[in-house]
Structure 1
Amino acid sequence: MTDVPVVRVGFADYDHTRDLWNGRVTSPDVTLECTVPDKAGEVFRRFAEGEWDAAEVSLASVTERIGAGDDSLVLLPVFPVRAFRHGAIWVGAGFPGGPEDLAGKRIGITAWTQTSGVFVRGLLASRYGLVLRDVRWFQGGLDSPRGEVRSPQGGLFDITHVPDRPLGAMLADGQLDAVISSQPPAAFTGGNGPVKRLFAKWTFEEMSYVEATGVYPIMHALAVRREFLRRQPQVADVLVQIFTEAKDRAVARATQVSVPAYPLPWTPSNANRTQHFLGADVWPYGVESSRTTLEAFLGYAEEQGITPRRLAVEELFVR
């Protein structure tokens, strides 16, 4: 009898992965040993330090590695985090216009090779004509100073490291015109403070965006160490299967109307409205169902110097 392989896997705490670590979704073909840190950043760090056989990873970071010829990780088409990011563009309260008016301006970023930033810059360029090379980019910490972070090579973009002032404070003081960040700057109070979102009705912008483009941004994917897959090649398909089952169970919970599964009002009606824009599967896994998004991302990655050439989708998931 063949021994069932043990797969040590790390991922943050999401409802669509919860049934994996609570034992409700299992497979006779693998034994999962799950570690569930509170934050994805801790997962990234610990996986980079050698922990686990598989883990949630930043799509941009792994794409950069693959583009540089590093094949030590294999991506699986399991996407623990997807998020539209129109609401991640912050401007000063007196900013006079829309996205087109960011041309040639000063924009803060916390890191260039960050998936949310790649998608935001991509949508600004593709939808609103922003010429990324004409922008003056300032890289630093959002609400506290931050040590220098590696930027794209080759001088393609005008990127200045800011070691002594947080970007949020610079935006509030008028030293920056905008900041791209999935987290709101501390200067954003939600009212009449010095910082506001570029898109006041960002959710509606995101709905229009997905209807027009079919792009449903992917932030994180599941990666397996290639060395592990060489020893246990069957594990890849099993992981996709059980992660998908856990996700499908979470979507079913979100859409049930008789007894709401989440402590938020209108969750089922919001889930049903989401299905109008995204289809019955509001959180798709798999390559083909996400090909439009992946193609767009890989185009952005090349244009922004994350990869030296445009990768094919299959290169991300090749075994």
Structure 2
Amino acid sequence: MSSSPETAKSPERIAVRAGFGDYDHTRDLWAGGVTSGLLDLDATVADSPESLFSRFLEGGEWDVAEMSLAVATALRGQGDDSLVVLPVFPARAFRHGAIYVRSDGPVSEPGDLTGKRVGIPVWTQTAGIHVRGLLASQFGVDLHSIDWIRAGVDTPGRKEPVDLPVDDAFRIRSAPQSTLDRMLLDGEVDAVISARPPAAVEQRDPRVGRLFKKHTFDEMDYAKKSGIFPIMHVLVVRREFHEAHPGMAHELRRMFTEAKDRSVRRALSAVVPSYPLPWAAANAARARDLIGDDFWPYGIEPNRATIELFLDHCADQSITPRRLDVDELFLRTPESASA
């Protein structure tokens, strides 16, 4: 005999511990603007991507977390199935501006990087994979000809988040006592590729600067011509937590999407700017014209070209031992195929 509406029990709510970055498009998740009838989201906002990834992977914190796309892809390529990857992308960025050179150095255009010494924080950095792929595919740079030197950007001791057998394919060595900032200033490297600008660049030291002087315009031109909007981070769920709560992923994606959609509307509002930036709404409208009405899309299909290109780069750069398929990497929630 079925229960009447008065006696039927509502489904038990699922407590979800989540860690992610402090962005406007996640704000409504931790501030209570987006709620759920199924999930109780216990959100922690991390102060840096490095801290976030370490606390989740090494410290065992959280059931759900924002994660480096490169790390998630590398782990899957090694057969590690411990993380369920959702097509939710909390961090994205164009990366023409992530190449730094000396003002008096030997590199004045992208092609000059062939055969040079280039500093990187780690090989498995998503930004670096995008930049190296861009250099190889758009500017003909031979990545195998470069001497790659790994070091912390401003603090020594940075380590790879994932063990990769890339040293035989590429000339990579570590400089654990050095920093990329110091090596660039001293001429020990000819360029640095890093998502985080070296301190000297941040301080506007005239001795160093970006290779692409007008990188914002170069990036907009690239977006218009290619339709690519590089993805940096994804949302991941621990496999055991997902299997214990199989319906949770769809609701989690809905919540993150709603929070992002609310943020996009705020960005476009010209009535009272939501961001302390001049011309914020005008820049958001420009992004809409270049990328589309939803200029920060979630889901597989709206991002397929970007994901496919990234997986190409991962195979070419030994991040994965073979070229992965999109469906190997992402969990398809009920709306993934069309959204």
Give the TM interval when normalised to the shorter protein. over 0.9
Quote how far apart the aligned CAs of 1:165 are: 2.4
Is 1:130 the counterpart of 2:144? The answer is no
Aligned to 2:240: 227
Aligned to 2:83: 73
Tell me the number of residue pairs that the alignment of Structure 1 and Structure 2 aligns: 319
Alpha-carbon separation, structure 2, partners of 1:94 and 1:151: 36
Aligned to 2:131: 120
Quote how far apart the aligned CAs of 1:109 are: 0.4
Aligned residues of 1:79 and 1:222 also touching (Cα < 8 A): yes
TM-score (norm 1): 0.96
Instruction: Encode CA deviations 1:196-240: one digit per residue, 9 max, x unaligned.
Output: 100000001111111222211111110011111111111111011
Quote how far apart the aligned CAs of 1:30 are: 1.5
- The 5 Å alignment of 1:150-165 reads 152-154=164-166, 155-165=168-178
- Three-state SS of the structure 1 residue aligned to 2:228 is coil
Q: Using the aligned pairs only, state the percent identity.
A: 52
- The 5 Å alignment of 1:83-162 reads 83-95=93-105, 96-146=107-157, 149=160, 152-154=164-166, 155-162=168-175
Q: Which runs of 5+ in 1 are unaligned?
A: none
Q: Out of 198-207 and 42-51, give the one that drifted further.
A: 42-51
Quote how far apart the aligned CAs of 1:151 are: 6.3
Is 1:38 the counterpart of 2:51? The answer is no
Alpha-carbon separation, structure 2, partners of 1:47 and 1:163: 24
Is 1:213 the counterpart of 2:206? The answer is no
The partner residue of 2:262 within 240, 246, 249 is 249
Aligned to 1:25: 34
Aligned residues of 1:110 and 1:181 also touching (Cα < 8 A): yes
RMSD value, Cα: 1.5
Q: Which runs of 5+ in 2 are unaligned?
A: 1-8, 333-339
Distance verdict in 2 for CA 1:191–1:261, change over 3 Å? closer
Instruction: Encode CA deviations 1:114-156: one digit per residue, 9 max, x unaligned.
Output: 1111111111111101111111111112223225547641510
Aligned to 2:330: 317
Distance verdict in 2 for CA 1:60–1:191, change over 3 Å? closer
- Three-state SS of the structure 1 residue aligned to 2:21 is coil
Aligned to 2:6: none
- Three-state SS of the structure 1 residue aligned to 2:192 is strand
Alpha-carbon separation, structure 2, partners of 1:196 and 1:235: 46
Quote how far apart the aligned CAs of 1:243 are: 0.4
Alpha-carbon separation, structure 2, partners of 1:196 and 1:151: 31
Quote how far apart the aligned CAs of 1:52 are: 1.2
Instruction: Encode CA deviations 1:64-83: one digit per residue, 9 max, x unaligned.
Output: 00000010101101100001
Quote how far apart the aligned CAs of 1:318 are: 3.4
Quote how far apart the aligned CAs of 1:192 are: 6.1
Alpha-carbon separation, structure 1, partners of 2:324 and 2:75: 12
Is 1:166 the counterpart of 2:166? The answer is no
